Amino acid sequence: PRTIYLKDYQAPDYWIDTTHLTFDLHEDYALVTSVLQMRLNGEKEFESGTLPALTLHGEELDLVSLHRDGEELEGDQYQLAKGTLIVSVKQPTFELQVVTRIRPQENTSLEGLYKSNGMFCTQCEAEGFRKITYYLDRPDVMSVFTTKVIASQARYPVLLANGNAIDKGELENDRHYVTWEDPFKKPSYLFALVAGDLECIEDRFTTMSGRDVTLKIFTESHNIHKCDHAMVSLKKSMRWDEEVYGREYDLDIFMIVAVDHFNMGAMENKGLNIFNSSCVLASPETATDATYQRIEAIVAHEYFHNWSGNRVTCRDWFQLSLKEGFTVFRDAEFSADMNSRGVKRIQDASLLRTAQFAEDAGPMAHPIRPESFIEISNFYTLTVYEKGCEVVRMIHTILGAGQFRKGTDLYFDRHDGEAATCEDFVKAMEDASGVDLTQFRHWYSQAGTPVMTVTDKYDAESGDYHLTIAQSCPATPGQEQKKPFHIPVGIALLDEQGQLLPLNAAGDKEQVLSIKQSEETFVVKGCKSKPLPSLLRNFSAPVRVRYDYSKDDLVFLMKHDTDSFNRWDACQRLGVAAIEQLVEQPQQAVDPQLVDAFGAVIADAAMDKAVKAEMLCLPSEASLAEQADVIQPLAIVAARKKVKQAIAVAHKDALQALYNELNHERVYKPEAADIAERTLKNVCLGYLSAVNEAECVQLAAKQYDDASNMTDRRAALGCVIDAHYRDEALVERLLTDFYDRYKGNSNVMDDWFAVQSSSAELGTVEKVKALMQHDSFDSTSPNKLRSLIGGFTRNMTHFHTAGGTGYEFLADRVIELDKQNPQVASRIMTPLTRWKKFEPVTSGLMKNALERIKAVHNLSTDVYEVVNKSL
Ligand code: HT7
Ligand code: ZN
């Protein structure tokens, strides 16, 4: 496999002004006719008098015929080489007609045109369009598309593609057609087609300039009652993008289609978003609060791409974070405005610190704008998306909201209808604000998580307080030395009463420092006693902070800090310290200071319930593993469990009282205040089920039986499964009951598999193997694979079980799956790539599993890249 480098980027030799596609869909094949108006790229220099050959991308295609300006081409005028069709050219502008035959029914990779539950659908990002027809399948080639879809009327009454429907009619043999025209130029990765027996809900939206837009959400008829939340979310997103970014929708119709077999969450195809059904469908009985919020966020994300991604797209795939990082930032701000801002920040920072920091410290570490790749699908990463979002957020913090908005306006105006780069985005920000972002650009080119080491000194005589911030960044593959970053660091100082001190002559009590040197000192005058610093407030930069907080300091911050992120972070630090202590010395007692501090949080009636629920969650096993120098999986599980049990036993009465207070019946609404109450109630239930008493597990069972919504039922099921007091008959009863209730609902069944495979109590490798044989398991469904196999890889107890059987099992699945769906195979093996961080015996077993994968012939580029970079 070939490595592709950013530095080698070259503009294309030809443009495609218009693309006319005709899809003739049949049960065992599809015929695709593509008519392209081609034009030489006049801005490039070619040897005088010659026209370069046209090299089109194409994979897994049967070429049926090829015409240039109406003339059928013979074998000496074109060449089929691996992955390309090379055509000789006679004129600078010409028409090319290509007819290909493809087999969507046999397409298990879910890239290109494929079938899911009997319907045809497409996934073209990043390089799937080349599995449909020969094309310049690169994002800088933008074309105006017209698409005619022909299929059986009885089997596929609904025929959709991008843009507006301009023609439809009936044909012989019960066939019909619809023609769609998308007036906006777009790259091939935004192409979409759907043909199926679908129903839709319909609504309307009036844009800020008064245009009327039709909104439709399509799904199989049995799910039609589960689309309302997605529709409400869509309308909220459309209004928000007008109000916050001044961006208006541009077509007459916006459609969403839910499909069951999908490699990722959703796809922003122009005017025709295709969604994993798990990211659209919700009803109170079948979806949890978390699912409701996820749907709202993903609907918004894909809708926001209409500007950040579609109207302004990416020049090449190295610029992926240009659209993804920016759009994640947009959807995060939207969710913060719709729900609890503080909690959204905690959740996002927590994901970043747990999973993205791990990626940045692993063998696949890359900058948000990678410099090379073998397989672009491997670079749809937490780094490109979530760290990319943090980089945009830092620009927002440095510029301020007003200047940032001027920057985005300029960016959209300047590059509308173009394929842009990350550099274009930063330049627009600079030009609009006058702020120099020269040094800030290192965030785009350097990988790794910077470490900020903070020390301080107080001079009682002068009242001067010195805060020194030093930064460094660990080496990452291919990048030994790093230049200092421009880091915005939010700070405040707390006095002995917990009040915020003025930081400067203007009396500001909070400030964002712009740290640019390897070491900088910041002085605050007039402090009557040594203040306590609150650092990196609101998680103002994606860095690790090292400051020697005592436990008393952390307890103080938990109580007094006005920044909810830092209150939560203090709680996490205290939890990490207590658990790490037990990892090293398992016989020791649980830190009583931690137990008391958690008791104070439980008792704090004034605290925001949503934040309180977050604060009461101990650091996850994954986050503890990320922070460990050497991961000892079973010791982490045992230590965390011991701490949870100690808190639960010490505060059982208070937890029970809080649970009772919150446990009242009401009509289900996925609104912030209600979600906060349910979350906190279920956190209490989680602690209570860590108490080794029958009445505690009975309480969870009662909640399960009485539940009127999925949030409460699912939480209770998890509590019973992992309860300290073991009642295996009850576990069995509830798992069977859950199955019987929801077996007709594929998305809920995903969770039924995940709750078992990820359980420390149930999820043995034997159990997972048995579940793979279950009637409801479908090995062609990425959702099922992610639930069952992915759930198992997150199961620290059994995945890392002695002897390495968990690793062997995963290696077998990766090898098997690679032939069927390389994208899912390569993602699912991620946990093995972290082998170097584990204690030696475990590490060796993980490495063996990777070596076994590496030895397989004909690996996909996806798995090849990950396995080779990991070893
Ligand atoms: N832009 C979309 C990316 C995506 C994707 C990438 C590779 C393979 C399958 C895929 N499905 C969707 C999703 C997004 O970020 O909005
Ligand atoms: Zn996206």
Please give the distance, rounded to the nearest whole angstrom, from the Cα atom of residue 593 to the centre of ligand 2.
43
Q: Is 126 in the pocket of ligand 1 (CB under 6 A)?
A: yes
Query: 672, 341 in Cβ contact below 8 A?
Result: no
Classify 491 as helix, strand or coil. Answer: strand
Q: How would residue 47 be classed by pLDDT, with cut points 50, 70 and 90?
A: confident
Q: Is 353 in the pocket of ligand 1 (CB under 6 A)?
A: no
Task: Please check whether the two domains, 4-304 and 319-334+343-544, share a CATH topology.
Answer: yes
Strand 372-373 and strand 4-5: the pairing is: antiparallel
* Protein residue with its CA nearest to atom 1 in ligand 1: 267
Q: Is 823 in the pocket of ligand 1 (CB under 6 A)?
A: yes
Q: Is 384 in the pocket of ligand 1 (CB under 6 A)?
A: no
Please give the distance, rounded to the nearest whole angstrom, from the Cα atom of residue 267 to the centre of ligand 1.
5
In DSSP terms, which residues pair with 275 in a beta bridge? 258, 266
What is d(CA 461, CA 622) in angstroms, rounded to the nearest whole number? 46
Please give the distance, rounded to the nearest whole angstrom, from the Cα atom of residue 759 to the centre of ligand 1.
29
Q: What is the atom index within ligand 1 of the atom nearest the CA of 128?
A: 8
* Protein residue with its CA nearest to atom 5 in ligand 1: 125
Please give the distance, rounded to the nearest whole angstrom, from the Cα atom of residue 622 to the centre of ligand 1.
25
Please give the distance, rounded to the nearest whole angstrom, from the Cα atom of residue 267 to the centre of ligand 2.
7
Which ligand number lies closest to the CA of residue 327?
2
Neighbours of ion ligand 2 (CB under 5 A): 324, 327
**Residue 670 pLDDT greater than 80, yes or no:** yes
Q: How would residue 423 be classed by pLDDT, with cut points 50, 70 and 90?
A: very high
CA dihedral 773, 858, 824, 216 (to 10 degrees): -110
Mean pLDDT of 204-220: 98
Please give the distance, rounded to the nearest whole angstrom, from the Cα atom of residue 60 to the centre of ligand 2.
27
**107, 110, 121, 267: which to mutate for ligand 1, most atoms within 8 A of CB?**
267
Query: 254, 214 in Cβ contact below 8 A?
Result: yes
Mean pLDDT of 294-312: 99
How open is the CA angle 499-503-507, to the nearest 5 degrees? 85
**Residue 640 pLDDT greater than 90, yes or no:** yes
CATH number listed for the domain at residues 4-304: 2.60.40.1730
pLDDT per position as a tens digit, 82-135: 899 999 999 999 999 999 999 999 999 999 999 999 999 999 999 999 999 999
**Residue 830 pLDDT greater than 80, yes or no:** yes
What is d(CA 583, CA 625) in angstroms, rounded to the nearest whole number? 11
* Protein residue with its CA nearest to atom 14 in ligand 1: 267
| Amino acid, single-letter form, for residue 293 | Q
Burial state string for 535-560 with b = 16 or more CB within 10 A and e = fewer than 16? bbbbbbbbbebebebebebbbbbbeb
Burial state string for 388-412 with b = 16 or more CB within 10 A and e = fewer than 16? bbbbbbbbbbbbeeebbbbbbebbb
Q: Is 264 in the pocket of ligand 1 (CB under 6 A)?
A: yes
Q: What is the atom index within ligand 1 of the atom nearest the CA of 264?
A: 11
* Protein residue with its CA nearest to atom 10 in ligand 1: 264
> At 476, phi and psi to the nearest 5?
-130, 165
Q: Is 380 in the pocket of ligand 1 (CB under 6 A)?
A: yes
Query: 100, 64 in Cβ contact below 8 A?
Result: yes
Q: What is the atom index within ligand 1 of the atom nearest the CA of 324?
A: 15
Which secondary-structure segment (H or E) carries 301? Answer: helix 289-304
**Residue 528 pLDDT greater than 80, yes or no:** yes
Report pLDDT for 801: 86
Which ligand number lies closest to the CA of residue 325?
2
Instruction: List the one residue out of 413, 395, 387 whose CA is nearest residue 307.
Output: 413
Q: How would residue 802 be classed by pLDDT, with cut points 50, 70 and 90?
A: confident
| Amino acid, single-letter form, for residue 143 | S
Which secondary-structure segment (H or E) carries 82? Answer: none
Q: How would residue 49 be classed by pLDDT, with cut points 50, 70 and 90?
A: confident
Q: Is 125 in the pocket of ligand 1 (CB under 6 A)?
A: yes
Mean pLDDT of 823-844: 97
* Protein residue with its CA nearest to atom 13 in ligand 1: 267
Q: Is 375 in the pocket of ligand 1 (CB under 6 A)?
A: no
Please give the distance, rounded to the nearest whole angstrom, from the Cα atom of residue 326 to the centre of ligand 2.
9
Place of tokens 């010195």: 466
Whole-prediction pTM: 0.98
Tokens (6 digits) for 425:
């985005």
**Residue 253 pLDDT greater than 90, yes or no:** yes
- Domain chopping of the chain, boundaries: 4-304, 319-334+343-544
Please give the distance, rounded to the nearest whole angstrom, from the Cα atom of residue 297 to the centre of ligand 2.
11
**125, 190, 301, 305: which to mutate for ligand 1, most atoms within 8 A of CB?**
125
Burial label for 752, CB within 10 Å (0-12, 13-18, 19+), is: buried
**109, 130, 137, 264: which to mutate for ligand 1, most atoms within 8 A of CB?**
264
pLDDT per position as a tens digit, 150-177: 999 999 999 999 999 999 999 999 999 9
Catalytic residue chosen out of the listed positions 125, 220, 302, 333? 302
Report pLDDT for 26: 98
> At 83, phi and psi to the nearest 5?
80, 5
Query: 107, 114 in Cβ contact below 8 A?
Result: yes
Q: Is 263 in the pocket of ligand 1 (CB under 6 A)?
A: yes
Instruction: List the one residue out of 735, 778, 693 whose CA is nearest residue 260.
Output: 778
106 belongs to the catalytic site: no
Mean pLDDT of 592-619: 97
Please give the distance, rounded to the nearest whole angstrom, from the Cα atom of residue 298 to the centre of ligand 1.
11
| Amino acid, single-letter form, for residue 621 | E
Please give the distance, rounded to the nearest whole angstrom, from the Cα atom of residue 360 to the centre of ligand 2.
20
Report pLDDT for 452: 98
Report pLDDT for 182: 98
Q: Is 273 in the pocket of ligand 1 (CB under 6 A)?
A: no
CA atoms within 13 Å, Cβ hemisphere of 450: 31
For domain 319-334+343-544, the CATH architecture is Sandwich (2.60)
Tokens (6 digits) for 52:
């370069």
In 516-672 the beta strands, taken as DSSP E runs, fall at 519-524, 532-535, 544-546
Residues recorded for the chain: 871
* Protein residue with its CA nearest to atom 15 in ligand 1: 324
Which secondary-structure segment (H or E) carries 218? Answer: strand 212-219
**Residue 728 pLDDT greater than 90, yes or no:** yes
Q: What is the atom index within ligand 1 of the atom nearest the CA of 823?
A: 8
Q: Work out the mean pLDDT of the chain and round it to a whole number.
A: 98
Q: Is 324 in the pocket of ligand 1 (CB under 6 A)?
A: yes
* Protein residue with its CA nearest to atom 3 in ligand 1: 267
Cis before 126? omega within 30: yes
Which ligand number lies closest to the CA of residue 264?
1
> At 448, phi and psi to the nearest 5?
95, 155
* 186: CB partners within 8 A, 6+ apart: 142, 143, 145, 162, 270, 310, 313
Q: Is 61 in the pocket of ligand 1 (CB under 6 A)?
A: no
Please give the distance, rounded to the nearest whole angstrom, from the Cα atom of residue 302 to the centre of ligand 2.
6
* Protein residue with its CA nearest to atom 6 in ligand 1: 125
Report pLDDT for 424: 99
**380, 383, 861: which to mutate for ligand 1, most atoms within 8 A of CB?**
380
Report pLDDT for 334: 98
Which ligand number lies closest to the CA of residue 265?
1
Strand 313-314 and strand 419-420: the pairing is: parallel
